[in-house]
Amino acid sequence: MDINDKSQIKNYQASENRYQQMRYNRSGNSGVLLPAISLGLWHNFGFVDSIQNGRDILRCAFDLGITHFDLANNYGPPYGSAEENFGTIFNKDFKPYRDELFIASKAGYDMWPGPYGNWGSRKYLTASIDQSLKRMNLEYVDIFYHHRPDPNTPLEETMVALSDIVRQGKALYVGISNYQPEETKIAARLLKELKVPFILHQARYSMFDRWVENGLLETLKKSGTGCIAFSPLAQGMLTDKYLKGIPENSRAAKDLTHLNIETVKSNIEKVQLLAAIAQERGQKLSQMAIAWILRQPQVASVLIGASSTKQLKENVEALNNLNFSEATLKLIDEIVLN
C-alpha cells in the first residue's frame, strides 16, 4: 500500500482515550513524564521494511498513550532511513500532535564516511542533529543523546556540543547512552555546570543483563537523572519464541551479532523456568520481563521494539501486573544468576 495514496488512507485521528490506560513516570528530578513503555525504531522502520506497517505501529502506539518515539541517526537499514520514514509518517499523521510527542535522536556510532561521521566530536554531533532534523521534518527533538562514550574526544568537548545544541533550540533536553558509572558522573557534573537539562541515560537492561545495577542506577539517582532501558527482552530471548527450539526465521537462527544460536541454547532452560513463573502470574514471559525492569524506581521507561501492532499491544499489557513478591524476585535471581 502506498502511503502517499490518499484514496486508500483516511486521515489519522488519535484515540480520545489515549491517556487513560498508560502509566507515566517522572524522569529523574526533571519536569518530564515518560510513558512507562516507549517505542524504539531501531528495527522495522527502515527502507527495507514496509512503511505502512511502520505507520500502523506508530498510530497504534500513540493510541495506547505511548508519547515517546526513540530514533537515532543510523537506524535503518540503510543509515538514516528510519528517521526519513518517520519524517514522512510524521507529516502525514502526527503534525497536529507534535506538542504531545517526546521524540529522541542520537549520534555516536558510524554514520557517514570519513573522519567526521562517528564518535563524539563537536563537528560530528552538530552535523548529525542538523541531518536528523531535516530527515524527520522537525524543528527540534525533545531529547538528543550522545550514543556512546568516545575514548579519544575530551568529554568536555562532547558535553559542550550537547549544550550548544540545546541553546540553539535544536533539542530541549540531552541524554547519554552506554556510559559507565564514572563517565556518567563526570558528564552529569559538566552538564550541571553548563546548566543543561540532562534527564536520561539510555542503557541496556534485562533479567539476563544487569550491568546497570553495578553502580549506574545509584549514580543516576545521585545526579537526579532517569534511566530508560533498551533490549529488555534480551534481543527476543525473553519471549515465548524460543521455548520449543529455534524458529527458522528467528533472529537467533540468522546468527546475528546481538543474538545467536549458541546464546539461546545455553540459556533455554532458564528461559523455560522463567516462562513458567510468568504463566503463574498470568503473563507472557515478555510481559514479566518488562514489568521486572519497571520495578526499579530510577527506570522511567522501558524501550521496546515492535514488528506488528499485535506485538506492541501484547507488550503494553505488561502494565496490567507490575507487582512482584520478594519470593518471586528471589526465585528469578536463583534461575538467572546460577
The CATH number of residue 102's host domain is 3.20.20.100
Residue 260 forms part of a structural domain: no
Cell of 123: 563537528
Q: What is the model's pLDDT at position 266?
A: 81
Residue numbers of the domain that contains 223: 24-241+284-324
Q: What is the rounded average pLDDT of the residues 175-197? A: 98
pLDDT tens sequence across 76-124: 999 999 999 999 999 999 999 999 999 999 999 999 999 999 999 999 9
Whole-angstrom Cα distance, residue 202 to residue 200? 6
Q: Using an 8 Å Cβ cutoff, are 191 and 174 in contact? A: yes
Q: What is the model's pLDDT at position 318?
A: 98
Q: What is the rounded average pLDDT of the residues 222-238? A: 96
**Residue 147 to residues 35, 175, 237: CA-CA distances in angstroms?**
21, 9, 24
Beta strand extents in the chain (DSSP E only): 24-26, 33-35, 37-40, 68-70, 102-107, 141-146, 171-177, 198-204, 226-230, 299-304
Residue type, 258: H
Percent helix, strand and coil across the chain, each to the nearest 5: 45, 15, 40
Q: What is the rounded average pLDDT of the residues 277-286? A: 98
Q: What is the model's pLDDT at position 4?
A: 64
End-to-end CA separation in angstroms for the chain: 49
Residue 92 forms part of a structural domain: yes
Whole-angstrom Cα distance, residue 269 to residue 196? 46
Q: Which residues contact 5 (CB under 8 A, 6 or more apart)?
A: none
Residue 223 forms part of a structural domain: yes
Helix H or strand E segment including 193: helix 181-193
How many degrees, rounded to 5, is the angle at CA 163 between CA 157 and CA 164? 90
Q: What is the rounded average pLDDT of the residues 155-161? A: 98
Q: What is the model's pLDDT at position 243?
A: 84
CB atoms within 10 A of CB 151: 8
Which of 135, 203, 201, 123 has the alpha carbon at shortest distance from 164? 123
Residue 248 forms part of a structural domain: no
Handedness of CA 42, 47, 51, 55 (dihedral sign): positive
- Is the model's pLDDT at 57 over the cut of 80? yes
Q: What is the model's pLDDT at position 9?
A: 56
Whole-angstrom Cα distance, residue 239 to residue 69? 22
Residue 16 forms part of a structural domain: no
Cell of 32: 518530564
Q: What global pTM score does this model have?
A: 0.94
Residue 294 forms part of a structural domain: yes
- Is the model's pLDDT at 27 over the cut of 60? yes
Q: Which residues contact 251 (CB under 8 A, 6 or more apart)?
A: 235, 236, 258, 259
Residue 313 forms part of a structural domain: yes
Cell of 168: 540553539
> Is pLDDT larger for residue 260 or for residue 264?
264
Cell of 121: 566530536
Which letter does DSSP use for residue 264 in this model?
H
Domain count, the chain: 1
- Is the model's pLDDT at 331 over the cut of 50? yes
Residue 136 forms part of a structural domain: yes
- Is the model's pLDDT at 258 over the cut of 70? no
